[in-house]
């Protein structure tokens, strides 16, 4: 029995057609589908399209189905074309003929669009929470890092000395924006398409505003065709997820670099790493590698969801059924990645190595700039010095006040202090810069933010 059996169709669907067109992945929408139907029934009752007895019977049936869904007892049948048909079929089993009134004034086109939006709302909220937890882990490790100083890198060459905490917190701020994106997108997910019907609305006295309000949604569609045809909400969700994955993929890459023997900045907990089947000494951070690898699949999702919409004639087309697999994959992958990476970082021991060499060269040049020397000239003076020291096999450690002064009379003996990476970090004062004071401010700001998350 299909939803259309006994009407204009004389034949039952072929197995081939059924196998190809049915996608059971939408079973994940069961709870939100019931939630949407409960609101729909309440609206039908309110506008008089259902008698209160009918509404009560349907509601009771739906509540029972919700119970079966929650306990995992809901029984799917091979003949259920999708989640919507399954619920209607089960409702019929439970309450009889009155179940046929559930779909009054509704099409699966506006129904699935609603389910998806309800799903996206929940998912966006959960990701915000997960991202918040990862930020908290980074802040905690930044606090533990205390005063340790590392080189920042540009072009993967040592650039300036910075507190290690500053490096960790860079990711925290990226994640704050990722979480903000989910929150901003939430407002656009939060619009109900129910009442749009198949594509043109209905002659029945439906009140879409009532269903929307009952579902706690922020608004209703303005155009029924747009409401059933559009999947930009799904695409925006996948974009938010993809950018978050891209950000944590960079974090994963840094962690992997730091865990190499060449860097030696971090040791991961045994419980968050894997061994090698062949090399007894190996301890691999597979979580970080998989976060990086899975990011590729999210980028694929983003391409898929964009391509899925491109060139579709208005309005609903079955192509759109594919949106769910994409959304679910992006959702699950991001959820798993945030959780696993959080565990890896939380249990890691960081022992970053202080920079050696030239990372304070800019600080030395700035000593001259502060005394009015044009930056280009100061850059040149320090550049010559570096070349000279390298030529002689020496480092900044070999500099004496006299030698500094002989280079340029505007140098002062205390400028040598700036060559100590820890000291150079102390001397830095710019807003958001790589200084201890800035790190303290960032930690305070992030902690205040997390308290209200």
Q: What angle do CA 303, 309, 314 make, to 5 degrees?
A: 175
Binding to ligand ARG, residues 5-44 (CB under 6 A): 26
Shortest distance in whole angstroms from residue 107 CB to ligand ARG: 7
Pick the stretch among 186-194, 316-324, 347-355, 423-431 that binds ligand ARG (CB under 6 A).
316-324
Phi, psi values for residue 220, rounded to 5°: -125, 165
The C-alpha atoms of residue 89 and residue 68 are separated, in whole angstroms, by 14
Residues 65-84 that bind ligand ARG (CB under 6 A): 82
SS3 218: coil
**Closest by CA position to 399, among listed 361, 442, 366:** 361
Residue 85 or residue 148: which is nearer to ligand ARG going by CB?
A: 85
Judged by beta carbon, residue 25 or residue 395, the one nearer ligand ARG is 25
Q: How many residues in the shown chain lie near ligand ARG by CB under 6 A? A: 9
Q: Which of residues 82-121 bind ligand ARG (CB under 6 A)?
A: 82, 108-109, 112
Nearest-approach distance from CB 289 to ligand ARG, in angstroms: 34
Per the residue annotation, which of 5, 51, 260, 276 is the catalytic one?
Answer: 276
Task: CB nearer to ligand ARG: give 229 or 287.
Answer: 229
Rounded to whole angstroms, the Cα distance separating 404 from 382 reads 10
DSSP 292-331: HHHHHHHHHHHHHHHHHHTTPPSS--GGGGGHHHHHHHHH
Q: Which is nearer to ligand ARG, 112 or 139 (CB)?
A: 112
Extract the tokens encoding 309: 């919409």
CB of 302 to ligand ARG, least distance (A): 20
d(CA 145, CA 258) in angstroms, rounded, equals: 14
Which of 14, 155, 281, 429 is catalytic? The answer is 155
Rounded to whole angstroms, the Cα distance separating 162 from 434 reads: 5
- Cβ of residue 52: shortest distance to ligand ARG, in angstroms? 30
Considering the rule CB under 6 A, would residue 321 count as an interface residue with ligand ARG?
A: yes
As measured in angstroms, the least distance from the Cβ of 68 to ligand ARG is: 20
The Cα–Cα gap between 90 and 111 comes to 17
Question: Is residue 199 near ligand ARG by the rule CB under 6 A?
Answer: no
Closer CB to ligand ARG, residue 26 or residue 420?
Answer: 26
Question: Measured between alpha carbons, how far is 304 from 237 in angstroms, rounded to an integer?
Answer: 13
> CB-wise, 8 or 281, nearer to ligand ARG?
8
Of the candidate spans 46-54, 137-145, 317-325, 404-412, the one that interacts with ligand ARG by CB under 6 A turns out to be 317-325
Instruction: Give the residue, chosen from 65, 168, 215, 320, that forms a contact with ligand ARG under the rule CB under 6 A.
Output: 320
Q: Please, what is the minimum distance in Å from the beta carbon of residue 180 to ligand ARG?
A: 30
Neighbouring residues of 49: CB distance < 8 A, sequence distance ≥ 6: 104, 105, 204, 205, 206
Q: Which range of residues in 242-250, 302-310, 318-326, 416-424 is near ligand ARG by CB under 6 A? A: 318-326
For residues 195 and 421, which CB has a smaller minimum distance to ligand ARG in the complex? 195
Distances (CA, A) of 125 to 167, 186, 299, 449: 27, 8, 21, 16
Q: Is 148 a catalytic residue?
A: no
> With helix as H, strand as E and coil as C, how does 432-443 read?
CCCCHHHHHHHH
Residues 6+ apart with CB under 8 A from 281: none
Which window, 134-142, 230-238, 304-312, 314-322, contacts ligand ARG (CB under 6 A)? 314-322
CB-neighbour burial class of residue 313 (10 A; exposed 0-12, middle 13-18, buried 19+) = exposed
List the one residue out of 72, 105, 71, 99 whose CA is nearest residue 87.
99
- Tell me if 363 contacts ligand ARG by CB under 6 A: no
* 155 in active site: yes
What's the min distance (Å) between Cβ of 229 and ligand ARG? 11
Pairing of strands 283-284, 274-275: antiparallel
Question: Which residues are bridge partners to 350 per DSSP?
Answer: 266
Cβ distance to ligand ARG smaller for residue 84 or 101 = 84
CB of 80 to ligand ARG, least distance (A): 10
Query: Known catalytic residues?
Result: 155, 276
Residues that bind ligand ARG (CB under 6 A): 26, 82, 108-109, 112, 316, 318, 320-321
């Amino acid at each position: 029995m299909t939803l259309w059996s006994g009407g204009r169709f004389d034949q039952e669907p072929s197995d081939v057609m059924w196998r190809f067109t049915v996608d059971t992945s939408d079973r994940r929408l069961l709870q939100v589908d019931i939630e949407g139907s409960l609101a729909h029934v309440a609206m039908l009752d309110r506008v008089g399209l259902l008698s209160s007895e009918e509404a009560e019977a349907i509601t009771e049936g739906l509540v029972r189905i919700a119970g079966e869904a929650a306990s995992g007892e809901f029984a799917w049948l091979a003949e259920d074309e999708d989640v919507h048909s399954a619920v209607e079929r089960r409702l019929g089993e439970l309450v009889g003929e009155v179940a046929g009134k559930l779909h009054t004034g509704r099409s699966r086109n506006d129904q699935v669009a609603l389910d998806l939006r309800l799903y996206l709302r929940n998912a966006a909220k959960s990701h915000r929470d997960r991202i918040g937890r990862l930020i908290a882990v980074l802040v905690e490790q930044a606090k533990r890092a205390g005063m340790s100083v590392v080189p920042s890198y540009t072009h993967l060459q040592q650039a300036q000395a910075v507190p290690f905490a500053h490096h960790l917190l860079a990711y925290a701020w990226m994640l704050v924006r990722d979480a903000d994106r989910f929150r901003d997108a939430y407002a656009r997910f939060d619009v109900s398409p129910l009442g749009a019907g198949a594509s043109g609305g209905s002659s029945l006295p439906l009140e879409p505003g009532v269903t929307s309000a009952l579902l706690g949604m922020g608004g209703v569609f303005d155009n029924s065709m747009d409401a059933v045809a559009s999947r930009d909400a799904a695409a925006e969700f996948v974009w938010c997820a993809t950018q978050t994955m891209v950000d944590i993929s960079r974090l994963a890459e840094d962690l992997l670099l730091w865990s190499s023997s060449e860097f030696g900045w971090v040791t991961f907990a045994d419980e968050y790493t894997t061994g090698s089947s062949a090399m007894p000494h190996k301890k691999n951070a597979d979580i970080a590698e998989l976060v990086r690898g899975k990011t590729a699949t999210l980028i694929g999702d983003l391409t898929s969801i964009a391509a899925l919409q491109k060139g579709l004639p208005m309005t609903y087309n079955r192509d759109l059924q594919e949106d769910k697999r994409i959304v679910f994959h992006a959702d699950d992958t991001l959820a798993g990645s945030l959780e696993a990476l959080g565990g890896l970082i939380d249990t890691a021991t960081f022992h970053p190595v202080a920079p050696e060499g030239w990372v304070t060269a800019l600080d030395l040049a700035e000593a001259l700039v502060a005394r009015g020397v044009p930056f280009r000239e100061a850059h040149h003076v320090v550049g010559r010095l570096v070349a000279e020291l390298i030529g002689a096999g020496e480092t900044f450690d070999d500099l004496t006040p006299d030698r500094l002064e002989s280079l340029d009379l505007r140098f002062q003996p205390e400028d040598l202090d700036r060559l100590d990476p820890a000291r150079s970090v102390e001397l830095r004062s710019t807003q958001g810069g790589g200084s201890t004071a800035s790190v303290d401010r960032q930690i305070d700001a992030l902690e205040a933010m997390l308290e209200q998350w």
